[in-house]
Amino acid sequence: MAGTVRAARAAARRALGGRPRLRPRRRPPARLLALLAVLGPGLIAANAGNDAGGIATYASVGAKYGYDLLWMMVLITVSLIVVQEMAARMGAVTGKGLAELIRERYGPRWSLFSTVAVLVANLGICISEFVGIGAALGLAHVPKYASVPIAAVTIWLLVVRGSYKVAERIFVAMTIPFFAYPVAAILAHPHWGGVGKAIVAPHIQMTGPYLFLFIATAGTTITPFMQLYVQSAVVDRGIGVDELNAERVEVTSGSIFANIVASFIIIATGATLYVHGHHTVNSAADAAKALAPFAGRFAEVLFAIGLLGASLLAAAILPVTAAYVIAETFGLEKGLARRPREAPVFVAVLTTLIVIGVAVAVIPNMPVIKLLVLVQVVNGMLLPVTLFFVWRLSSSRELMGDYRNGRIFNVVAGATVLITSALSILLLGVTLTGNA
């Protein structure tokens, strides 16, 4: 009987040309496809903010004050969502980047000021990202004189020779290493009861170092290049008002994910360095090395992987953001889909930033801390201006029509802009006076 069945099946295959019938391939679940479709500018920008300088700041918070500052991450997350949503909405509704809108609505002087400040700040941060790449791979005993130039060439090929879709997918993939930080935090065996209490019960100290780290944490979580990149990337991606709700979801989820990662960095260092009395962290690489004696070698490796992913992502995004801003300010061609002959200034700007970033990053004994202080000052000057324009432009009936800020949202957005700007100015003053 079995032989008869096999013979019948063989005859059927011959009738079909000798080919066996194939089962239809299972398609990925619709929900998964929908999720992957909306990953983009918001996730990339928010996680690019968790760069080498940001990681060093969060690690310093955990090392010096344990879990005490976790409560503020909840408030910062709300602020970040509000600001990023306004930028994304403007890009979708107007089809123009922020620098272009500032030039059209407020004149070339303000646009030029914003452009110069962004260029200086992004160059400084770009240098620190390549330093971070060298430091991360240095933990694996790869010399920075090899790792940094190779990373730079790879980034340049991605943003200049690749298409927008390919570049964006790789940018999204670069956020995967951030999952290393929650794992590192778990391996550090934190006191989860203390973590939960710190999140819901604010613990405030009126001391100079505490206030400095408080302000620095807010400043490193919401930086000007995030809004500039999000709006320009939304335009470059071709997102319109019909996709606005999906982009809002993407911006919100990206902001939440990025700040959860930042919180786990604080938890990891709080559970190890703070508990054992190691309260000083000079860089993200120092934090990775310091975790090993307390949380094991695996935790150090994970922290280093996260640092590498963060630095690579930011090293790609910052030159692109500066190129967007300069092209928009002067009304020139721009976009990751453009070839050098189509957008020569756009490509020249991002190439120049990458080259300078690499050249400075490989200088022996380069004073990274002084560089980060300078960048902090420039960002402190730029953030209030950038946030004000984002707020006022997204509230304009003439510009945004029915998509302008609603009354309640406008109050929340205005308060967010005022508080964030005040913190930024305080950080600027503290940095300049040396009272940190």
pLDDT at residue 20 in the model: 39
Q: How far is CA 142 from the centre of its chain?
A: 25
pLDDT at residue 183 in the model: 87
pLDDT at residue 368 in the model: 60
Nearest to 58 by CA among 216, 223, 254: 216
Number of Cβ within 10 Å of residue 244's Cβ equals 18
Does any domain span residue 26? Answer: no
Alpha carbon distance 121, 353 (integer Å)? 11
Residue type present at position 436: A
Question: Cα angle vertex 255, ends 249, 261, to 5°?
Answer: 135
Alpha carbon distance 129, 368 (integer Å)? 10
Three-state SS for 97?
Answer: coil
DSSP state of 75: H
Residue ranges in the chain whose pLDDT is less than 50 = 1-6, 9-10, 12-37
CA dihedral of 414, 420, 426, 427, whole degrees rounded to 10: -160
Does any domain span residue 17? Answer: no
Does any domain span residue 10? Answer: no
Does any domain span residue 186? Answer: yes
Does any domain span residue 4? Answer: no
Write out pLDDT tens, residues 180-201: 888 888 888 899 999 999 998 8
pLDDT at residue 352 in the model: 92
Long-range contacts of 34-41 (CB under 8 A, 24+ apart): 37/246, 38/246, 38/247, 38/249, 38/250, 39/172, 39/250, 39/254, 40/168, 40/172, 40/233, 40/237, 40/247, 40/250, 41/88, 41/168, 41/229, 41/230, 41/233, 41/234, 41/237, 41/247, 41/250, 41/251
Does any domain span residue 22? Answer: no
pLDDT at residue 5 in the model: 44
pLDDT at residue 94 in the model: 93
Pair 92, 244: CB distance under 8 Å:
yes
Does any domain span residue 190? Answer: yes
Number of structural domains the chain divides into: 1
Write out pLDDT tens, residues 368-390: 655 665 666 666 667 778 888 88
CA dihedral of 241, 80, 255, 132, whole degrees rounded to 10: 120
pLDDT at residue 67 in the model: 93
Write out pLDDT tens, residues 255-289: 999 899 999 999 999 998 888 888 787 777 778 88
Does any domain span residue 70? Answer: yes
Per the structure, the complete domain to which residue 76 belongs is given by: 42-433
Q: Report the CATH number at residue 255.
A: 1.20.1740.10
pLDDT at residue 374 in the model: 61
Alpha carbon distance 82, 412 (integer Å)? 8
Pair 267, 182: CB distance under 8 Å:
no
pLDDT at residue 14 in the model: 45
